[in-house]
Amino acid sequence: MAGLYIHIPFCKSKCAYCNFFSVVSEKQRADFLEALKKEAVARKDYLGGEEVKTVYFGGGTPSVLEPQDILGILETLDKNYNINAAAEITLEANPDTVSKESLQEYKSLGVNRLSIGIQSFFDDDLQYLSRKHDSKHAMQVLDWAKEVGFREVTLDLIYGIPTLTDEKWRNNLEIFFSTGFNHLSAYALTVEEKTALGQRINKGMAASVDEDAVIRQYQILVEMTENQGFEHYEISNFARPGHYSKHNTIYWKGEKYLGLGPSAHSFDGTSRQWNVASVKDYCESYSFEREELTLDNRYNEYVMTSLRTCWGCDMEYIKNNFGEEYVKRFKNLTKKHLLSGKMFQKDEKFVLKDYGMLFADGIAAELFM
Ligand code: SF4
């Protein structure tokens, strides 16, 4: 089983904190759609005929495309890939780019999961992030999603925003629970220097992130989601049982996926490939870079991604794929984290506790070969 990721590189405007590849101009939309279809045909053997269990439209903002555009892409994928009839088909949508009618159309053409970029239900937080929607419209969109019958909906929320108090963060989570949706992706605000927000903070024109508030709000998140019956299955992802993201689980479990579109990444089990991050270059001639992964690279990736999940690092998997020496080294280096209580062992699996997940990147780096 494998996954398909489609990168739609257009956004209505650029959010101040955004570090994803996207452009504001839609001048090249028609050329992009043409190039995307060509790439889909050219790379149809990448997954070796494996059945595709997930299709994910990410971006950018996929909901800037007309439903007919999405339909055209899905038809091309259907002709060229072995897509499971019950595949999870997710579309990322921003509140300012959808209407009840467009949601209805996305649903009728096969999209069965929405990922909605809410970020906060408070307008001052949205302004700090320079998002284009307001909280009133966000609530309206969530009602539409329910009214048109989307059962699988995930919301993105951001904590650690300087304007977000602990109380407001609790309110955001309560509003999310009141929607009845079964999946939440909650991210700590990270500020990259080259983004507009990074530059504003550097010049003293915007408040910077308070790391203590990030930790407090993460703890509030873990506690409140647990009380509501959500499972914390990846550092930033929470779901009621049976509602995990199938597509993202492919990344976290090291399964194959093909990424189409500018800047999209692909993984075939032994190598990684990434497309050129330019709409113009992508439309003119599709080009990419590729890296064959060494055994150590693959081990490092496995450790880094698995430590961020509730499944943890499996010693059986490491023994079978990398060798006994890697297991010995892993066990030696993690003794202190077992003792400090950041990590626990269950049978042959080493798993970070909720609090330990805050240190996942640092712990993984210590374990790298
Ligand atoms: S909508 Fe998403 S991808 Fe587009 S600029 Fe904002 S954060 Fe970036």
Residue 285, domain member (yes or no): no
Residues 87 and 223 in one domain: yes
Q: Which of 109, 69, 72 is nearest to 89 (CA)?
A: 109
Residues 244 and 349 in one domain: no
Residues 55 and 189 in one domain: yes
What is the model's pLDDT at position 1? 84
Residue 242, domain member (yes or no): yes
Atom 8 of ligand 1, nearest CA residue: 18
At 26, the amino acid letter reads E
Residues 88 and 34 in one domain: yes
Domain boundary residue, one of 219, 251, 283: 251
Residues 230 and 324 in one domain: no
In this structure, are residues 144 and 103 in contact, taking their beta carbons and an 8 Å threshold? yes
Q: Residue 116 in 3-state DSSP?
A: strand
> What's the domain range around 307?
295-369
Report the run of H or E that residue 113 belongs to, with start and end: strand 113-119
- Counting runs of H as helices and runs of E as strands, what totals does the chain give? 15, 15
Residues 214 and 75 in one domain: yes
Half-sphere exposure (CA, 13 Å, Cβ side) for 179? Answer: 28
Give 4-26 pLDDT, tens digit per residue: 999 999 999 999 999 999 999 88
Residues 241 and 368 in one domain: no
At 282, the amino acid letter reads Y
Q: For the chain, which ranges sit under pLDDT 70?
A: none
Which ligand 1 atom is nearest residue 19's CA?
A: 8
What DSSP character marks residue 112?
-
What is the model's pLDDT at position 294? 95
Atom 2 of ligand 1, nearest CA residue: 60
Measure 11 CA to ligand 1 centroid, in angstroms. 6
Residues 95 and 192 in one domain: yes
Residues 175 and 314 in one domain: no
Percentage, residues of the chain above pLDDT 90: 97
Number of domains in the chain: 2
Residue 257, domain member (yes or no): no
Residues with CB under 6 A from ligand 1: 11, 14-15, 18, 20, 22, 59-61, 94, 117
Residue 240, domain member (yes or no): yes
- CA 326 to each of CA 321, 343, 359: distance values in angstroms, whole numbers, following the listed order: 10, 18, 21
Question: What's the whole-model pTM score?
Answer: 0.95
Measure 57 CA to ligand 1 centroid, in angstroms. 14
At 314, the amino acid letter reads D
Residues 34 and 170 in one domain: yes
Q: Which residues contact 100 (CB under 8 A, 6 or more apart)?
A: 144, 147, 148
Query: Mutual orientation of helices 135-147 and 166-179 as an angle, nearest 10°?
Result: 20
Residues 82 and 19 in one domain: yes
What is the model's pLDDT at position 25? 83
Neighbours of 267 (CB within 10 A): 21
In this structure, are residues 117 and 165 in contact, taking their beta carbons and an 8 Å threshold? no
What is the model's pLDDT at position 285? 84
Residues 241 and 310 in one domain: no
